[in-house]
């Protein structure tokens, strides 16, 4: 990874997460784990929950609302 490609945590958005961990990779992991969403009652889609979880790992001192705002830009 070049110096220009380094991403600081304060620069992380959903777009950056997706560029590093593709939707296809997330969908494959969700499928392997068998945890795809089963209801259409307004729950977060599995891939969004994965990206939110990645954001929570990147920002452990922030609450869920702050992290959701960061990863959704």
pLDDT given at position 38: 67
pLDDT in tens, 11-63: 667 677 778 889 999 999 999 988 776 666 767 788 888 888 988 888 888 89
pLDDT given at position 14: 67
pLDDT given at position 32: 92
pTM above 0.95, yes or no: no
pLDDT given at position 55: 86
DSSP 45: P
- Radius of gyration of the CA atoms of the chain, in A: 13
């Amino acid at each position: 990874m070049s110096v220009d490609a380094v991403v600081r945590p304060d620069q992380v958005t959903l777009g950056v997460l997706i560029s590093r961990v593709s939707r296809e990779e997330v969908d494959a992991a969700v499928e392997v784990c068998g945890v795809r969403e089963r209801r259409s009652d307004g729950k977060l889609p599995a891939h969004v929950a994965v990206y939110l979880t990645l954001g929570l790992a990147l920002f452990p001192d922030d609450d869920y609302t702050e992290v959701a705002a960061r990863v959704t830009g």
